[in-house]
Each structure stands twice: as C-alpha cells, then as structure tokens.
Amino acid sequence: MTERFYTTSTAFLEALAEAGVQYVFANLGSDHPGLIEALAQAKADGRAGDLPQVIICPHEMVALSAAQTAALVSRSPQAVIVHVDVGTQNMGGAISNARTSRVPVLVFAGASPYTMRGELPGSRNEYIHWIQDVPDQRGIMRGHVKYDNEIRYGADVKQLVHRAIQIAASEPAGPVYLVGPREVMEQPLEPYTVDAADYRPVEPAALTPEVTAEIGRALAAARSPLIITGHLGRDPEAVPKLVELADLLAIPVIESGAFRMNFPADHPMHRGWQFTTTEQNPLLAAADVILIVDCDVPYIELNSRPSPGAEIYVIDIDPLKQGMSLWHVPARRSAAANSKVALGQIAAYVRDNGFDRELAESRRAEVTAGHDAQRAALDALEHPEDGVITPQYLTACVRDLLAGEDALVLSESITNFQVVAEHLRVNKPGSLFGPGGSSLGWFGGGSIGAKLSSPERTVVSLVGDGTYLFSVPSSVHWVARRYAAPTLTVIYDNRGWRAPKQSTLGVHPTGAAAAADDFNVSFEPEADLPGVAAAAGGAFAATVDDPAELPSVLKDALAAVHGGRSAVVAVHIPRAQGA
C-alpha cells in the first residue's frame, strides 16, 4: 500500500469539481508534484471521477484556448494548470482572447518553492527552482485577469478557489489567476468541504423602470429604429428575447464585430454583418433611434456613423468598456444590464403600452424586402471565378455540407470573417463562435474544448492559413487524437497574411508597398499545412485547388470526422500577395 495524503492539492482539485469544472487543461512541471500525486491517488482509490478530467496539452496556448471554448460551449467555468512563470507566458495571447471574450476560466500556476533547506515538504531540491524564482509572476497576468491571488495557506484553498470562480463567472465574466508555491500545495490537511452554492455568480442586472420606459417609448415612436449587437449570443437564451423585440416592432438588426450567433441569419429583420467595414452603412445613417446591445464595436466612426440627431441607447453588461482605453458612443442613456432580462423588460413595456401597428407593419415590409435583396446579392457571389475557388464559393460549399448536421462552427477566418458570416448564415443560438479577441490561433485548442464539451455535435473550424500556423497544430492534433476529439478544419488558404496587406493599403493606398505588391506577407514556398495534422495526430489531410473537386473532398473529410478521425482541408483561394 502506497502512502496516502490529503493535501492542499487534493482540496484544490476537489474545489474545482465542486465549482462545476469538468476539464483541467494541463501542462505540468516541477511545481506540480502535489497535484500529480493527488490525481494519481484519486485514480488508485477509484475516485478519479470525483475530480475534473485532466487533458494533457503539450502547448499552453492550446490549453487556454481549449478551456476558453469549453467554458463557452458548456456554459460552465473550466480550468488550466500551467508551469510557473514560463508556462504562464506561453499561454501568450490566449489570455487576451479569454478576457475579451468574457469567459470564466481559472488559471493555476505553481510558483518556485520559498524554502531551500527542507524546512517544509516541497522545499527546493532542483536547480531550476532558483532560475524560475521571478519577482512578480502574478504581474504577467495582471493586465488580463479579473482577479489574481496566491494560495498561502492550505486550509483556505477551497474558499479561495470558489471566490476566484465566483468572480470569473460573474458578468462581465473573465479569467482569474491563482498561484501556489510548492510548499503550500504539499501542506497536509484534514479533508473538508465547502458548499459551492454559497459562491454563486452575481445575479443578472435589470433595467430600472424609468430607463425601460424611456427606451421602450423611443423605439415604439421611431420611424427608422435599428438594433446593433455583437456578443449578446454568448447567452443563447438572450437570442429569442432579441427576436421577440425585433419582431414586435419590426426593427432591423445588424451584427457588428460578432463572434457569437446573436440573431438568426434567415430572420427577415436580420440586415447583415459588419467587421472592418469601409463604407457607410445606410441603415446606420438613416436610423433615428439606435439600440446598441452588448456590442464592443458598433461602428467604425471614420467609415460609417449614425446621423448626428440619432437617439442612441446602450445596454451592455459592460457599457463603459473599462478594459478599453479609448471608447465612446454618444448615448442618451447607458445601462449596465443583462441583455436577456433588459430586452424582455422593453418588449413587455411596449406590449403593455401600445405602439403604432401600421407604422411597424409598413416598416416590416420594407426591412424584409431589404433583407431579401441583400441575400440575393450574396447568393449571386457563390461561384468560382476563372477556375479559382473564391471564399464565397468555399463558404457556400461548407454551408451545404453542414445542412443536415448539428454543427458547431468556430470561425477564425480573419479577412474572411465577413464572408464566412454572410455565406454561412447560422440560425441556431450557440452554433457559431469566434476568438472574441485578437490573438491568432485560438481555434485549434478551441476545437478541442468545443468537441469535448459537445461530443454529439460536428465541430468545424473555418480559419486562415496564418491562423492555422499560430494555433500550434502539432500540439492540437496530438491532443485531438489522444482524447478522441475529432473535428474538421477548413483552411482559407491564400498562402499568406492578407490582413497586414489590407491594413497597409488602408493607410498607404498608393505607397511603394502597393505599387510593388511587396508587403512581406507571402507564405511561399507553400507548406503542407494539413500534413502537420496528419503527422501529429493521424488526421485526414487534403489540399484542394479545383473548384469542381471541393464538395467531394469536403464530404470525404467530414466522413473521416464522423469515423472518429480529425480532418484538415487546405483550400486554395486567391493569393494574399502575388498572382
């Protein structure tokens, strides 16, 4: 019989499970003997099911991206364990994505032991303990987390974990960071429990009756009202509330900077998507009352703006955008409220107090005609051009492929974000996710987190070729095979980074770079991108150039996924740079 311990590490893992964490995406090191031992003891004692499942991730960027997406899909907090300062740094931009997509994730990192003569169990016994002893490990994360703290005393660890997760899960949700030096993680404890129900997230906020009435009256009286949203669909139950209000008053809805499914694409009030738009949106210019609900970038003022007389209202879980240094919308009222609750309040007010039905019906006909015309114009683009696959044709092929599937799509398609949104046209809440932030490569770990959290769904990632390389595909595909999380990845392969080229053209349209088509963004000679996945995880791998072959290759790839094997298809679209 091996020795048995109940330590801070055991209590830490139990607390995660008590808080609803199903997965710990882990990359381990010399700081984790306590956790490794606690996990092994739980397994040996037949208690492994009482703790979260550990998913070994050979790269930390993959671990946090997986946790981010598992939290989004499961709507439950998830956790990551990384190695001291360097594992923390290796999560890289994934921490920025987790923050800006408002996702509850607890990140734990060990810390160098603080004794060196055996004063306590866990004391320094490896040379690396001196090297990794940095002055401010928590400072690495401070700009990106809602809360950071150090576990200093074992008997308090569960309370600390529950408080951290309560902060992470309360709106606006976000990542939190705990560190624990080796000695405290080895501290022997009496087993104890904490009631997770005492640490529920803060309840959703409602509008005051005055603000409800003001917004309700303004929308009911408007000639050309407009709703703009971006991340309302992070709560899929908010979507029917938006549909209800848009239906009631016949209000057109625009999705702006949307990394969620916010409003059904086929609904006649859906009037399009905008990301980095360069032209004035006519609905925005014409609107007399605008409701901006859960949206980070409702418009880019330099290119597209509301009319100066428009009455603007902002309802947002974070209306001040405190994480952004520069942000302003000239709103009559801004309210910090939960959109599901607030939209229900406004719809009830309008119903109870009446509105001009004739006005709404004439607008309904007009907005619907605009919707139909917009869709017809998009449909007309869904064909190859001169024997070359276009992003529009590719997205239409993916849409057709997924027609009978319960699909969950991750889009990290960069300069094709708008094309993907416009041609994929998702209608089911919770069926589309984006990175929510600007650090490329989220989808790789994301696809694993999504598949683990919804094994019954077909997970499909639509991504740029540069983004694919940022995702650490070797690590992703090892994890995907090891934990039976097969997904389909379709690469919008323009063999380069089109985004920095577009940025340069936006500032220097007639400069030397433009004249010579010399932007330093080409990926020639071409790499075998799907081959990386085949080598690391035995994935189905194909590269497609011929438009006629595309549908059948995508079908074969999907069949491989249904057979339990991941698939990566690189699809040649027009080059980012060069002919």
Applying CB under 6 A, the residues found at the interface with ligand TPP are 93, 414-416, 438-440, 464-467, 470, 494, 496-500, 576
Residue 60, C-beta contacts closer than 8 angstroms, at least 6 positions apart: 27, 80, 82, 87, 88, 90, 91, 92, 94
Specify the 3-state DSSP secondary structure of 49: helix
CB closer to ligand TPP, 481 vs 498 = 498
C-beta of 311 vs 493, nearer to ligand TPP: 493
Out of ligand TPP, Mg ion, none, which partner does residue 415 contact, by CB within 5 to 8 A per kind? ligand TPP
| 95 contacts: CB under 8 Å, gap ≥ 6 | 64, 107, 141, 144, 145, 175
Phi, psi (degrees; rounded to nearest 5) at 24: -115, 115
Are 122 and 113 in contact by the 8 Å Cβ rule? The answer is yes
Indicate which single residue of 78, 413, 494, 522 sits in contact with Mg ion (rule: CB under 5 A).
494
Residue 25 or 443: which CB sits closer to ligand TPP?
A: 443
Q: Quick one: 481 or 495, whose CB is closer to Mg ion?
A: 495
Q: How many CA atoms lie within 13 A of 383 on its CB side?
A: 6
Question: Considering only 32-40, 130-138, 145-153, 494-502, which stretch makes contact with Mg ion by CB under 5 A?
Answer: 494-502
In the complex, least distance from residue 423 CB atom to ligand TPP, rounded to whole angstroms: 15
Q: Which does 411 bind (CB under 5 to 8 A by kind): Mg ion, ligand TPP, none?
A: none
Report the partner that residue 416 touches, choosing among ligand TPP, Mg ion, none (CB closer than 5 to 8 A by kind).
ligand TPP
CA neighbor of 339 nearest in space, from 239, 216, 214: 239
**What is the gyration radius of the CA atoms in the chain, in angstroms?**
25
Instruction: Give me the residue whose beta carbon is nearest to ligand TPP.
Output: 464
Minimum gap (Å) between residue 493 Cβ and ligand TPP: 8
Question: Could you tell me the smallest distance in angstroms from the CB atom of residue 8 to Mg ion?
Answer: 46
Query: Quick count: other Cβ atoms within 10 Å of Cβ 88?
Result: 25
CA separation for the pair 405, 400 (Å, rounded): 10
Closest CB to Mg ion among residues 25, 468: 468
Find the binder of Mg ion among 100, 401, 465, 530 (CB under 5 A).
465
CB-CB neighbours of 487 under 10 Å:
26
CB of 256 to Mg ion, least distance (A): 23
Could you write out the three-class secondary structure of 504-550? HHHHCCCCHHHHHCCCCCECCCCCCHHHHHHHHHCCEEEEECCCCCH
In the complex with Mg ion, the residue whose CB is nearer, 565 or 572, is 572
Please state the closest distance from residue 445 (CB atom) to Mg ion, in A. 20
CA dist., res. 90 & res. 93, Å (int): 9
134 binds, among ligand TPP, Mg ion, none (CB under 5 to 8 A by kind): none
Q: Which is nearer to ligand TPP, 69 or 338 (CB)?
A: 69
Q: Which of 230, 445, 464, 486 binds Mg ion (CB under 5 A)?
A: 464
- What's the min distance (Å) between Cβ of 497 and Mg ion? 6
Q: CB of residue 505 vs ligand TPP: minimum separation in angstroms?
A: 12
Residue 269, Cβ density class (10 Å: 0-12 exposed, 13-18 middle, ≥19 buried): buried
Nearer to Mg ion, 180 or 466 (CB): 466
C-alpha torsion sign, points 240, 245, 246, 248: positive
Min dist. Cβ of residue 528 to ligand TPP (A) = 16
Bridge partners of residue 522, in order along the sequence: 496
Instruction: Give me the residues that bind Mg ion (CB under 5 A), please.
Output: 464-466, 494
